[in-house]
Amino acid sequence: MTRIDTVLLPELDGPVPATLPSALGLLSLALGVGALVAPGPVARLTGVDDSPSARAVLPAVGLRELGSAAGLLSGRRPAGWAWSRVAGDAMDLTLLGRALADRRGERRRRVALSTLAVAGITAVDVLSAVRIGRAQRARARMIRMEIAVTVNRSPAEAYRFWRDMENLPRFMAHLESVRADDLRRSHWIARGPAGQRVEWDAEIIDDQPNKSITWRSLPGTRVPNAGRVRFVPAPGDRGTEVRVELRYAPPAGALGRVVAKLFGEEPEQQVRDDLRRFKQVLETGEVVRSEGSPNGISVRQQAMQRPAQPLPTSRR
């Protein structure tokens, strides 16, 4: 994952962005250090201080925890390391179960409390591992695009047109409408070829007049997506290089299939067409239409061109 992805799509790191694996790692670190440095007090606390074998096992458990901590804090393969914690939890529960069987009185009470605590931690670990895994898979499905077009207009003109988010459906084919709720927030409605609708709210998270606009869907949307457009003066006084980066993470399942259809089989080509239409609107005033392509430029339509004849009145 590149740095831009984390700027654009924090949702992909799950409900506790990027910090969930680290939090688990710190927990492992604390437990591991405790078990290694102070096996005596830990044994007393958990009610197993009467067993020599428990005193021998505790540092081993501490080492295991340090291993998990190192893995989780390294940031690599967080889902795997989160599951390593679950495995450790299972081992601890087994040991505690055995300890519970041959203890009575105060020690039995302490072992039971420890068992309850570990069971709670296990639940948190399982939940976290599932979430981290889901975020990783979403990230693997994420579609990234970087496409550019040169427009014979100044960066200020190109920026002004794009900054009015309600203009976006004029050149983005899959959008039915964008409603600006205020200067930052907007509500987007996209429509697929078979009429399926997908809606989300987005906010502008970085706005540099005449230079760039960065937006992303609000947390909680089912189709996390984000984009950045930069308006770079084209060399040789040839207008503006409009450079667009888009990220979106289609969910799994039926909604994912709808989203996939929205962008077609060649999502890059579709965005390229969007930028061509942007250029047409800025340079000529509107999307250019022909009798064969009455809705303007569209790869989807190129496959099913109508003959180059005037349209029957009913189609206008």
Partner 1 sequence: MMKATAWMGTDSVKVIDVPDPKIMNARDAIVRITTTAICGSDLHLYHGYIPAMRKGDILGHEFMGEVVEVGPQVRNLKPGDRVVVPFPIACGHCSSCQRGLYSVCENSNPNAGIAEKIMGHSPAGIYGYSHLLGGYAGGQAEYARVPFADIGPLKVPDEVSDDQAVMLADVFPTGYMGAEMCDIKPGQVIAVWGAGPVGLFAAASARLLGAERVIVIDRFPYRLRLAEEHIGAETINYEQADVLDTLNEMTAGRGPDACIDAVGLEGHHGNAAMYAYDRAKQVARVETERPFALRQAILACRSGGVVSVVGAYGGFVDKFPMGAFMNRSLIMRTGQCHVQRYTRPLLERIQRGEIDPSFIVSHRMPLRDAPKGYKIFQKKQDDCTKVLLKV
Inter-residue contact 93 to 111 (CB < 8 Å):
no
Interface positions, 217-246, toward partner 1 (CB under 8 A): 238-239
* Residue 122 engages partner 1 in binding (rule: CB under 8 A): no
The minimum distance between CB 155 and partner 1, in angstroms, equals 15
- Considering the complex, state which of residue 59 and residue 294 has its C-beta at the smaller distance from partner 1: 294
Give the nearest distance from C-beta 87 to partner 1 in angstroms: 52
Nearer to partner 1, 137 or 238 (CB): 238
Strand order in the sheet with 225-233: 143-151, 240-248, 225-233, 212-217, 197-208, 185-191, 175-180
The smaller minimum CB distance to partner 1, of residues 183 and 311, is found at 311
Query: Cβ 245 to partner 1, closest distance in Å?
Result: 21
Residues in contact with partner 1, counted by CB under 8 A, come to a total of 36
Residue 148, classified by CB atoms within 10 Å of its CB into exposed (0-12), middle (13-18) or buried (19+), is middle
Is residue 316 a contact point for partner 1 (CB under 8 A)?
Answer: yes
Q: Binding mask 255-274 vs partner 1 (x if CB under 8 A, - otherwise)?
A: --------------x--xx-
Between CA 195 and CA 80 the distance in angstroms is 40
Query: Least distance (Å) from partner 1 to the CB of residue 273?
Result: 7
**Kind and range of the H or E run holding 243:** strand 240-248
Residue 29 interacts with partner 1 (CB under 8 A): yes or no: no
Nearer to partner 1, 205 or 288 (CB): 288
What sign does the CA torsion over 4, 245, 162, 191 have? negative
**Contact call for residue 193 and partner 1 (CB under 8 A):** no
Binding to partner 1, residues 288-307 (CB under 8 A): 288-294, 296-299, 302, 305-307
Using CB under 8 A as the binding rule, whether residue 213 contacts partner 1 is answered as no
Which CB sits closer to partner 1, 146 or 266?
A: 266
Question: Does 173 help bind partner 1 (rule: CB under 8 A)?
Answer: no
> Among residues 121, 132, 70, which one has the least CA distance to residue 91?
121
Going 187 to 191 to 195 to 196, the CA torsion angle's sign is negative
Q: Per CB under 8 A, which region of 35-43, 166-174, 213-221, 275-283 contacts partner 1?
A: 275-283
How many Cα atoms sit within 13 Å of 269 on the Cβ side? 9
CA dihedral for 127, 129, 130, 135, sign (positive or negative): positive
Helix-helix angle 105-141:78-101, to 10 degrees: 160
C-alpha to C-alpha distance for 59 and 38, rounded to whole angstroms: 9
21 binds partner 1 (CB under 8 A): no
Work out whether 131 is an interface residue with partner 1 (CB under 8 A): no
Burial class (CB in 10 A: 0-12, 13-18, 19+), 312: exposed
- Minimal distance, residue 296 CB to partner 1, in Å: 5
The verdict on 167 binding partner 1 (CB under 8 A) reads: no
Please give the residue ranges that form the binding site for partner 1 (CB under 8 A).
150, 152, 238-239, 269, 272-273, 276, 279-280, 283-286, 288-294, 296-299, 302, 305-313, 316
